[in-house]
Each structure stands twice: as structure tokens, then as C-alpha cells.
Amino acid sequence: MKVAISLPDPIFSEAEKLAHRLRVSRSQLYATAIEEYLGKRQDSRITERLNALYGTGLESVDPALAAAQLGAIGNEAW
């Protein structure tokens, strides 16, 4: 899809230099940059959702499970 966007001159200039240095087209550079940005945003949304899910309150650990976990690590020094 073709789109028109506005960029501040310094960002445009740096992007042009980077595209030239990487030997990719301007379109490819922008597509890659947006793809990476979206991936990072997706990661942060997942983290936010997990934090919301697990941050609602402290759940008690079943005593038998806690004992099994402690028994599995033994008396090793951390």
C-alpha cells in the first residue's frame, strides 16, 4: 500500500543515510522499522496483560506444592 507521511527533516535525513548504508530502499527501511516497532508494542501489551492478571492479588501456594519445591532444591547455597 502506498502512503504519504510527514517526517521532521533531521529524521528523514538520517533515515536516508541509513537506507543507503544498509543498501535497502526507503520503503523497505520504513517497513522494517514499523514492523520492529509493532513487535515491541505487542511484547509490551503481553507483559501488561500478564501483570494485570498476576498482579490482582497474592495467591497462596498450596503447602504441599511449596514443600515439594523446597525439597527439590535441597540445601544448596544460592
Write the pLDDT tens digit of every residue in 17-40.
Answer: 999 999 999 999 999 999 999 988
Tally of domains within the chain: 1
Contact 24, 16 (CB under 8 A): no
Whether 47 maps to a domain, the answer reads yes
Tell me if 78 is assigned to some domain: no
Q: Is the pLDDT of residue 78 over 70?
A: no
Q: What integer pLDDT is reported at residue 63 of this predicted model?
A: 83
Query: Taking the model in full, what pTM does it have?
Result: 0.56
pLDDT computed for residue 39 by the predictor: 87
Helical H segments across 1-78, by residue range: 9-22, 26-54, 63-73
- Residue 53's pLDDT band, with cuts at 50, 70 and 90, is confident
Does 15 score more than 90 pLDDT? yes
2 within a domain of the structure (yes/no): no
Domain residues for 51?
A: 9-73
Q: Is 3 within a domain? A: no
